A = this chain, B = another copy of it.
Amino acid sequence: MADNLYQKGINKIQELTASPDDNPTGFMNIGADFKDIAPDLEKYVVEFAFGGVYSRPGLDNKQKVLTTITALVAQGKPQIAMHIKTGLSVGLTPEEIVGCIMHLIPYTGFPSVLNALTVAKEVFAEEGVKVDTSAFE
């Protein structure tokens, strides 16, 4: 049963990151680097965060990642980069990702938004993604 929950979490991560079967967690940091100091961390990330919370009904994957990005921008966390990549993977358009960050100006102020856009721009450059800005012309 615990194995099932772990597998459910791995499957969810593979779905979110569109990773191949021989590397199902792909670019996602699931805490595997901490085996020597906190061997149970990976289990919590996979089983609780992905097998549990990310597998909950209520929101679709695009909504879940948008919610994640928003929370990380509001808190100024460096994990924004990884979750922007996940957003592109689940089908959020670059315009939706930028739209989410820009929408936060009235709620977090400009500095949090500028910091997050800097990260978004870097991820988009790495991934070869262009933002369609024609709606602003």
Quick one: given A70-B71, A95-B57, A107-B111, are A48 and B38 in contact (CB under 8 Å)? no
Known A38-B98, A66-B66, A71-B70: A59·B111 in contact at CB below 8 Å: no
Minimal Cβ-Cβ distance residue in B for A52: B44
Residues of B within 8 Å of A29, CB to CB, are 114
* Any B CB within 8 A of the CB of A90: no
Q: Type the 1/0 row for A67-89, where 1 means its CB is closer than 8 Å to any CB of B.
A: 11011111111110000000000
With A2-B1, A96-B58 known to touch, is A39 a contact of B105 (CB < 8 Å)?
no
Chain B residue contacts of A71, Cβ below 8 A: 70-71, 73-74, 104, 107-108
Q: How many copies does the complex hold?
A: 6
Query: Judging by beta carbons under 8 Å apart, are A110 and B110 in contact?
Result: no
CA of A94 to CA of B37, assembled, Å: 8
Chain B residues within 8 Å of A100, by CB: 58-59, 63, 67
Sample of 29 A–B contacts (CB below 8 Å)? A1-B1, A29-B114, A31-B114, A35-B133, A36-B133, A37-B94, A37-B98, A37-B117, A38-B101, A39-B136, A40-B56, A44-B53, A45-B110, A53-B102, A56-B99, A57-B99, A58-B95, A59-B96, A59-B99, A67-B67, A67-B70, A67-B100, A67-B103, A71-B71, A74-B75, A77-B112, A79-B111, A104-B109, A109-B109
